[in-house]
Structure 1
């Protein structure tokens, strides 16, 4: 791990010039004290790194210094394979590996291409954290130690013990046979089987994980795309789902569709509004979705949903009708 960090430190200085200890610490995700120790180690190994004092000082390499330490390690190569979505790399605990791998890729470019590639990269922004309305993409933090253990079990084909906290249930240990990892909308999921039955676990709810030595009971090959689609279909058509009939302003149709599990029927009323039958995960999900559409939607059925939304709206109006 330290050897990889030293290589990354050298590559950062080669590609970006003089950098402060604080900047290096932020890029490498370590403390400034660790950076200073690494600088001393590089100097002792003969790498011509020097310090510039003063307000705008920092560390730099002597001009013209070259290094061939650009080989990718396993996690860095894996990070590049999932680099189609940087958020995917983050969800699988490969964010720092991706950053390190990209530094090595840039350093391996011919010098004549390096500046051009860096300039072009600054003109592209893929999958930003917020949209045009400043709404943040939801992503969940998963401890690196947990996701690394899950990854090892998935790739090695070994069984896995996970301490899992399901919704509205006490957390408990369970042994699963991992099949693969999926990221969707910034969330990471483990696809697995338990006692032969398909199971899907959200990575952020895995509190601890332990790779076991025995082989997982799983097929040699798997189509993760198909497996994910099948599990999604079962999720949308099972459980305690709620069907809602609603009238919706057509300008807000996508907002409703984006939160619903499925659209069962849709037609246009005489006034241009849409009459839609949609399903939600449960009653709380249905109430949340219709409430957020405010006057741009009206729940027609079931009656309990209309009653609940009316009570919430009355309480809100009462609160804001009082002097502040």
Structure 2
């Protein structure tokens, strides 16, 4: 613990001109006397710490004694700080803040960041993310209730391997003890997450384990839709990287590759959400499915 405090103090001193003993004591939850002893140790280790007297006095590192800037360029440092800052807020990870402090000592000049990262996600995910990160790090088995794609409620136990952010959502990937195979679960569908005291052996090779994205590629079928001129922006947001063909009347044809589209309820919800702005052209069976969905919805509003 003392060694970690000393290292953190060194980087803070490198990153600030002057820090008072009381500020450092409050930061590291120790007494000012302990800070004075730590400063002596840091000086004995060869770091040129200077003591400043007066109301605004404190400790600082002699000018010119900085981390080698050739390790990383300005662009690299700025990008890393931006990404780490976002992850630090999401995972409530104080260690990331320590890394940011060290990176800031490399590039001391102020530069307006050209990059912003916002891990926009469900509010419920934020509470689960630190718990899952802890479970992965300490290899604790987790237990949770889950609503699957068939709207069935099941209870699962998992050996978590890694978190995955995609399609603006967080997923946890690992070994499902119920299915005895690797599975991926969306955090927004998880409830009653519990971190058990039971641990598992590090037998998962994350370099060899593939995520489920490539599963069932032989069942991918194109869904062709016509997008009206008043729904172009929303359709582009939902289906950006697909084949598109624009027409003179302002409409657009989209060809969307989907795995098992006749069973993909997530796709039905998106398409129906466009209202009259989108019409499904192919496959014809999907048109009939959406027609039935609309008719069933209308029954809820019959007087």
Aligned position for 2:95: 97
In the TM superposition, structure 1's runs of 4+ consecutive aligned residues that sit over 6 Å from their partners are: 19-22, 48-52, 65-69, 235-238, 308-312
Q: 1:164 aligns with which of 144, 153, 163?
A: 144
Matched residues in 2 for 1:249 and 1:49: separation? 70
> Contact 1:250 / 1:272 at 8 angstroms: preserved in 2?
yes
> Contact 2:81 / 2:100 at 8 angstroms: preserved in 1?
no
- The alignment's TM-score, normalised by the length of structure 1, stands at 0.53
Does the alignment pair 1:138 with 2:117? no
Does the alignment pair 1:200 with 2:184? yes
Give the 3 Å change call, closer, same or farther, for CA 203–288 of structure 1 in structure 2.
closer
Give the 3 Å change call, closer, same or farther, for CA 49–42 of structure 1 in structure 2.
farther
Does the alignment pair 1:189 with 2:171? yes
User: What is the CA distance between 1:65 and its match in structure 2?
Assistant: 8.9
> Contact 1:91 / 1:188 at 8 angstroms: preserved in 2?
no
Matched residues in 2 for 1:63 and 1:191: separation? 45
Does the alignment pair 1:126 with 2:115? yes
Matched residues in 2 for 1:289 and 1:52: separation? 68
Aligned position for 1:248: 227
- The alignment's TM-score, normalised by the length of structure 2, stands at 0.56
> Contact 2:245 / 2:254 at 8 angstroms: preserved in 1?
yes
Give the 3 Å change call, closer, same or farther, for CA 87–270 of structure 1 in structure 2.
same
Does the alignment pair 1:41 with 2:11? no
CA-based RMSD: 5.4
Unaligned runs of at least 5 residues, structure 1: 26-31, 70-81, 108-113, 130-135, 154-159, 316-324
Q: 1:303 aligns with which of 291, 294, 298?
A: 291
Q: 2:249 aligns with which of 271, 287, 293?
A: 271
User: What is the CA distance between 1:199 and its match in structure 2?
Assistant: 0.5
Counterpart secondary structure, 1:125: coil
